[in-house]
Amino acid sequence: MRHLLLGLATALIPVAASAADTIPTGRLPDIAAPIAYRLDLTIDPEQPRFSGHTEIDVDLKRATQTLYIHGRDLKVSKAWAKSGASTVAVTYSQVHQLGVVRLDFAKPLAPGKVTLGFDYDAPFGDGAAGLYRVKVGDRYYAWTQFQSIDARAAFPGFDEPGFKTPYSVTLTTPADAVAVTNGAETGTRKAGKMVTHSYSVTEKLPTYLMAFAVGPFDMVEGTIPATAQRATPLPLRILATRGQKDKMAYALKETPRIVQLLEAYFGSPFPFPKLDQIASPVMGGAMENAGAVIYDDTLLLLDDGSPTRQKQNFGMVVAHELGHQWFGDLVTPAWWDDIWLNESFANWIGYRIGDQWRPELNIGVGAIDEALDAMNIDALKVGRPIREPITDSGAIDSAFDAITYGKGGQVVDMVESYMGRETFQKGVQLHLSRHARGNATADDFFRSLAEAAGDPRIVTAMKGFVDQQGVPVVDVRQASPQLSLSQKRYAAIGAGAVPATTWTIPFCVDKGGTKSCTLVDQPQMTMTAKGSGTLMPNAGGHGYYRFDMADADWSALIADAPKLPSGEALATIDSLWASFAAGGARPMRLVEAAGAFAAHSDSNAAVDSGTRLAEWDRRGLVSPAARPGLHRVLLGTYLPKLEAIGFNPARGANGGDSPDVQKLRTDLVSIVTREARDPATRGKLAAAAKAYLAGDAAALDSAFLAAALRVHVEEGGAPAAQALFARALASTDAYFRGRAILAIAGSGRPEVAQWLIGQIGEPRLRATEKVSIVSGITQTLATQDIGLAYLTANFEKLARDTNLTSVNAMLSIPSAVCSVEKAGTLDAALKPQVAAFGRGALTLDRTIEKVRNCGALKAARGQEIDALFTGK
């Protein structure tokens, strides 16, 4: 029906000689620019639709009778244009499913200031896109998520980042609702049975950074004390759905410190007059709306007893989103092809400031972990560079992936490590001061860094990583004191030939605690390495590259595993496994490294090899005959470590341990109960889950909730799954609800998976939860085919019911498969559906390549793996 209506609307548009023949699905024609918006919305979340009155002051650059703007699925009852003293009728027609609108004026408009006006209504969304609503308990709440092109689903406008204007906003809502937007509330007045809220005019913002939240929220208030950069206190509020006040105090207490650290780094005050931190149960991530940041419940709502990983996520994500208030909101990309810089920088500073906020949480090393995950995607033949021209709005969302966040953040870290912290910080401050309240490009940022460093080669190095796809691998050979270096693009078995690529790599090695650096800008070259001792070719783990070495050097590095700094340990494990996947390192070497790194004091380094070995089990790289041997290796490596630190699943039982030891215990419990299936540890979890579900909240610490519920369903089967599912749907606690649903989905029991698939139509099930169900079922080998069958039969329906983040997650689900043959089957089944949907093609292509490459690896090295665990 949509395509029929769009075709009719297009047919009714009168053809004008000055009109563009092609619908602008990328940038709008350079005919007009908005100057200011006045938004008057009526939002009652209990109703299926909202309504609005929008006025936009526009600078019309030349006379025209036609204008393209944006609006998606808005039912416009009236549209007009006011030019001088005359009001001109407007025909409003949506001409493309991406939300491109054509305005036809009854007569040509002269250049100059014009006001466009619209009265309309539209449906609330179900997933976190546009203006959406969710029922929590017995009430509905509404939030917005506008990045990248979803503001057009809430109001007509010029939905591009390059257009920054002030906004005057009024919201009419139910009388008992709290109503939030970017500006501070200045007053209310009765509007019949409703209330109209007025707000201060915003700073200049693009459409994607506007936000609204309406509902009977619980709220706590405070202030962020004045700092050297800000002379007055900053108002701070935390908002969440009713019944969660006991989880709001943590954010109120901890947010001020993060803001103060950011102000000190940027050397300037928080850019907006107030800060609201708002929780949504279906957000999935978080969004940096200026002065009104929206987070997933599980990121913002926690307490002092919450798991280490949840506190790490809080610190990193809050620092990331609040870092955006400067880098993204104060200074905004001119177009979406530079959105990578927003996200890459924010990811980097999220880890940096998060680490400063609570050093004991060990947040910073997560940046390296995330970068190594990004390398697995960047190493594929199908892909993109960090910075890629975007000519069609349907391609924008491909920029929000691991390449932008993980790779981009690590490239920023690598350049900062090479330049030095103070010099890099000077470049950042220079960039922000030059472009405050405006727009800037990545090239503007590069120039600021080069000027601060006094070294134009910094630009060459950064551009090489930003503008080229792929992961460098540097082969290092010792001829003391010289190192012989050669670089090429990394390729795993199955990838085939990859293009020859050369980077300018800020390359730093460590020998016995002495660091030496150079810029590797040739396919082969040498460098002098100072110091003596074990060679570590990625000092600190800061470099965005992999390395390979002679076997003797690998042996020495693995022998030093427990003494390596955390980042170096993770980089070593990744490069060793990458060597195996490319046909180099032997499987026995990986098991040897797992045993050595298990003794590392950092939780991430201690379990990383075990997680990778467990992945062999989950993806079927080991044969059924070899699985018991793999499980014995996992038990023999990780159970003694768990026994050494002890395990009691009761709430608060391990509160005296450091946060990293607490996290280590959680990770070890997952390995020894999921893959290795240790009976004693599983028994403790099963008993704790039973008591917890019977009402004894103290029986189970939230750190072990996911593992305990999984064991509960694995052992209890369908009756346990059905009872837990009913409890999850009735819960207003997003943390419990999400982990309960995943526990059921990942049970590995076909009868449970088949029953759960049948529940996807349950009306209380949220769109993002449907994706979680299909993902959990597919990631478990015993139920994988059930999940794949549902996904391939229902992709388009699932995609249209949810947000774009979930669509990309959905298309990544088949990555759990390991088969050349199934790669072709999945491609044939999903590609036509993705093409019809219009988004997600790159994610699907990457997924198919991962499935095919895993199958190729299994064919090439599966016998070696099996021989390792069977002894045959």
Q: What angle do CA 198, 202, 204 make, to 5 degrees?
A: 155
C-alpha 473/C-alpha 375 separation (Å) is: 11
Residue listed under structure tokens 């009778």: 65
What are the tokens at 576?
């060793």
Starting at the edge strand found earlier in the chain, the sheet holding 112-123 runs 64-70, 100-109, 86-96, 75-83, 112-123, 49-60, 32-42, 167-174, 194-199, 185-191
Cβ contacts of 578 within 8 Å, gap of 6 or more: 375, 379, 473, 490, 492, 546
321 is catalytic: yes
Q: Which phi and psi (to 5°) does residue 51 adopt?
A: -135, 160
Asked if 495 and 379 count as a contact pair (C-beta separation under 8 A), the reply is: yes
**Catalytic option among 203, 288, 321, 416:** 321
Asked if 282 and 134 count as a contact pair (C-beta separation under 8 A), the reply is: yes
Residue listed under structure tokens 């759905």: 241
Q: Half-sphere exposure of 47 toward its Cβ, with a 13 Å CA cutoff?
A: 12
3-state SS assignment for residue 72: coil
DSSP characters for 522-553? SSEEEEE--S-SSEESSGGG-SS-EEEE-HHH
C-alpha 731/C-alpha 733 separation (Å) is: 5
C-alpha 382/C-alpha 89 separation (Å) is: 49
Starting at the edge strand found earlier in the chain, the sheet holding 535-536 runs 514-520, 505-511, 535-536
Chain centroid to Cα 609, Å, comes to 24
Cβ contacts of 525 within 8 Å, gap of 6 or more: 485
Give me the amino acid identity at 871: G
Q: Count Cβ atoms below 10 Å from residue 195 Cβ, excluding itself.
A: 17
Q: Which phi and psi (to 5°) does residue 536 adopt?
A: -120, 110
Beta-strand relationship, 524-528 and 514-520: unpaired
Query: Of the candidates 283, 274, 228, 232, which has an alpha carbon nearest to the alpha carbon of residue 255?
Result: 274
Is 320 marked as a binding-site residue? yes
- Please give the DSSP secondary-structure letter assigned to residue 334: S
Is 324 marked as a binding-site residue? yes
C-alpha 855/C-alpha 519 separation (Å) is: 37
Residue listed under structure tokens 């046909």: 583
Is 343 marked as a binding-site residue? yes
Q: Half-sphere exposure of 783 toward its Cβ, with a 13 Å CA cutoff?
A: 26
- Please give the DSSP secondary-structure letter assigned to residue 125: B
Beta-strand relationship, 100-109 and 86-96: antiparallel
Q: Which residues are annotated as a binding site for Zn(2+)?
A: 320, 324, 343
Q: Known catalytic residues?
A: 321
